[in-house]
Amino acid sequence: GEDVEQSLFLSVREGDSSVINCTYTDSSSTYLYWYKQEPGAGLQLLTYIFSNMDMKQDQRLTVLLNKKDKHLSLRIADTQTGDSAIYFCAETPLRRKIIFGKGTRLHILP
């Protein structure tokens, strides 16, 4: 079946790196995504990776994709208080629809 799993909570000290992990089930997904939801707002696309890539870097964000294990991770370097949000992993199996994980709430400790 189609499922995207991620842990629900992560606490990180300000200035440290945050690593949010996700596993997915459908190997046909062309793109895998990370969305960010700030309090009281809708989701916003943070970054995405094409399925034939292993890594994508964009400023403080690094996305790693392990297709063999169907594992996706998002690393945020030098985590700031503004990074406090819920992060959703998502896939698009056979480009039919977007399937979201339940979201990981990132809490920043001072």
Partner 1 sequence: NAGVTQTPKFQVLKTGQSMTLQCAQDMNHEYMSWYRQDPGMGLRLIHYSVGAGITDQGEVPNGYNVSRSTTEDFPLRLLSAAPSQTSVYFCASSRTRGNTEAFFGQGTRLTVV
CA distance readout (Å), 95 to 47, 55, 61, 99: 17, 21, 25, 10
* Residue 47 host element (H or E): strand 43-50
Residue 78 DSSP one-character state: S
Q: Using the rule CB under 8 A, which residue among 31, 53, 80, 109 binds partner 1?
A: 31
- Segment lying near partner 1 (by CB under 8 A), choices 19-27, 36-44, 54-62, 68-76: 36-44
Q: Which two tokens stand for residue 52?
A: 């034939």
Q: Using the rule CB under 8 A, which residue among 63, 88, 106, 108 binds partner 1?
A: 88
Least Å from the CB of residue 54 to partner 1 = 18
Exposed/middle/buried for 24, CB within 10 Å: 0-12, 13-18, 19+?
Answer: buried
Least Å from the CB of residue 96 to partner 1 = 6
Interface residues with partner 1 (CB under 8 A) are 8, 30-31, 33, 35, 40-45, 48, 88, 92, 94-98, 100-103
